[in-house]
Amino acid sequence: MDSKPSKPIIAALLEPLPVLTQGQNDLADEGVVRLLVRGFIDLSLAAFQEVLHKGLAEDDAIDGINRQATALNSVFFGTSGISNVVTHPWNSPEQLGAFLKDTVALDFPEDDCVRAMLIHLATQLMHALRLPDEDRNEEVEALTLDAADLLLGRAPQDDDEIDIDISM
């Protein structure tokens, strides 16, 4: 598996955002972070659906989801090299990575915690596909909001527990 995400993958994740953000993708902007999370979720759900319909091998789906998570890891840590992404001191392994490691109880190095959290999110999405449509939509929305909150440095609000269950 390719360990370095290609810039076209990352740029594709950010493609719809410049129109909404006037050319800047500020990672302190909740709307930008939610759009990035939702883009990852949509890509993951599409990959899972393709696997279910036999249009994609499971290993290929997992590799694609991991590539997207790795790309977002570099975006959120400010190492993507994309000039229209505005990062802040928070967007570092020492800040965001440590927060994710502690809050979500990740057993990964701080510089890989965004990717790890997103992979766990994808696992939760896979389980959400088994729910009836209405419940699935609610679960996907809750997971989107929780993941965005985490990437903004906020523990999810609604429960004492974080919805992104990493016990699997």
Question: What does each of the 168 residues of the chain score in pLDDT, given as a tens digit?
Answer: 444 444 455 555 565 554 454 567 899 999 999 989 999 999 999 999 899 888 889 999 999 999 999 999 999 999 988 888 899 999 999 999 999 999 999 999 999 999 999 999 999 998 898 899 889 999 999 999 999 999 999 987 654 444 444 433
Q: CA nearest 112: which of 124, 101, 123?
A: 101
Angle value at C-alpha 48, between 43 and 51, nearest 5 degrees:
125
For residue 17, the SS3 value is helix
> How far is residue 165's CA from residue 104's CA, in Å, rounded to a whole number?
8
pTM of the model: 0.81
